Amino acid sequence: MRRVVALLAVMLAASCGEGLPGGLGLGAGDSASAEMPPDTAQTDAPEPETEAPAETEMAAAQPAEESNRSFLAALFGGNARAAAPEETADGEARVVEAALVPEGGNAAPESEIAFGTRLPYGQVARICGLSGKQMGKTTDQYPDSRPVYRLYDSDPGNTEPHSFYLTGFADGCARQFTAALAVFGSVEMHEQLRYGLPAEVQPYSDTDKAYERLKRRVCGKPRRKPCGARIDRLARDTVFVSIYGRFDSNAQWMNLLLHRGEMVAQDNKQAVEG
């Protein structure tokens, strides 16, 4: 960084008409001066001193100031991203790049529905800017200590389908859906149920397949094998949400799989007969 600051000081001094220390050159500018023909040099000889009006001096100073501003704008401003020096640490490089992102480059997430909308069962929609009071009562959270995700019931005690809200997403917005009952299901519970049933009895669904991919990446285990020693690491921010259309018995229900603040899969499940 000190090298960049020093180079900027030298280039600014050159643009203001000051001499460069130690004969430091600026590339093409020096070549042009060296190749200047003799008659051009004579043309630039100083003329007899005349008294110039004040406005003329101001006009002459403005191009230099504009040149300096243009130089700085080209280096730091505008819509361009300034390249970080190679020796800059990785963290510093990210900070510099983030500071030069044009305004409006990262638009805030927008709600997909208006507050008060009733969604059909089976649909999930993003809704932003709601307070806890607007969403209702917290009925479940995961993990129990230092929770990442929370479930809100808009009408606690109502056993008919109504609006629920789910928070903990990376975009800062909630997800709304309609249910009579919604609960979190841990990855440990999922493995007990999933690996206790043969695939021909309970076929692998989209959430099952997505979990297998996450488990392979985090735990290094193949399909249909438990995560093992790294289950706690996977469980920190990975959880299932079971969404029921009826409060009592349900022949089918909807599942969501959440991981690191994202909904990575959604599907419908059916109860195993017999």
| pLDDT (0 to 100) of residue 219 | 96
Mean pLDDT of 67-73: 41
CB 182 within 8 A of CB 241: yes
Q: What is the mean pLDDT of the chain?
A: 73
- What is the DSSP code string of 164-228? EEEE--TTS-EEEEEESEEEEE-HHHHHHHHTTS-TTTS---HHHHHHHHHHHHHH---TTS--G
Mean pLDDT of 2-16: 43
| pLDDT (0 to 100) of residue 51 | 43
Distance, CA of 133 to chain centre? 27
Mean pLDDT of 216-223: 95
Choice among 91-100, 108-117, 140-149 with the minimum mean pLDDT: 91-100
Two structure tokens written together for 251? 């022949």
Mean pLDDT of 149-160: 97
Two structure tokens written together for 15? 């643009």
- The sheet carrying 238-244 orders its strands as 181-185, 238-244, 252-259, 262-270
Amino acid at 174: A
d(CA 33, CA 118): 75
pLDDT above 80 (res 115) = yes
Contacts of 102 by beta carbon, 8 Å cutoff, 6+ apart: 79
Two structure tokens written together for 20? 């460069």
Domain ranges of the chain: 1-16+69-107, 125-270
Q: In Å, how far are 207, 216, 244, 250, 263 from 268, measured between CA atoms?
A: 9, 23, 10, 12, 15
Torsion angle (degrees, nearest 10) of CA 136, 140, 143, 146: 40
